[in-house]
Amino acid sequence: MTGHYVEQDIDSVLLTEEQIQRRVREMANEISRDYAGKELVAICILRGCVMFFADLMRYVGIPMAIEFMAISSYGSGAESSGSVKIKYDLEEDIRGKHVLIVEDIIDTGITLFNLTELLKARRPASLSICCLLDKVDRRTVEVPVTYTGFEIPDEFVVGYGLDYDSRYRNYCGIGVLKRAVYSNEIV
């Protein structure tokens, strides 16, 4: 049970836990079908993606390796700087393997574009992107997303791993955060 503090800070529920789980299972089935018989490495982009990644991997019905990366693209502000800094890198060599980047949310696309360029240099057999949430209206750089959970409006969302100030990750749904919670800090 999620603590009461979450509900009081949520303006509206965008996606329920049931909607999320249904779509995650569908995406896992698509991935299982598309990568059957291939050597797949699924990469979780830490931290916001952990819940989505764990659920997705439980439903994927083929053998695969899992890896983790922690990256940063934010300077001192709330907007992405576009430059990707690797905080934690892959342990496995991805050369010649089919790679699936699993991300929680895509906004401008700048960070993910730079990450894909970095990973392409490591010469995988293929490189695809799976994201739970896609803010298409915010896109400034095109990134080819193969698997999308939900296209969402340009709202500040939290829950199911997504946070604000390290809070709200444990909310089982995805909700729009009340502007009053974050408006004093966003430039």
By the 8 A CB rule, do 80 and 110 touch?
A: yes
Q: Label residue 150 exposed, middle or buried (CB < 10 Å: 0-12, 13-18, 19+).
A: middle
By the 8 A CB rule, do 136 and 109 touch?
A: no
* Catalytic pick among 34, 107, 163, 165: 107
11 is catalytic: no
Q: What distance in Å separates the CA atoms of residue 150 and residue 152, rounded to the nearest whole number?
A: 6
Q: With left for phi above 0 and alpha for psi between -120 and 50, is residue 123 left, alpha or beta?
A: left
Task: Give catalytic residues, as residue numbers.
Answer: 107
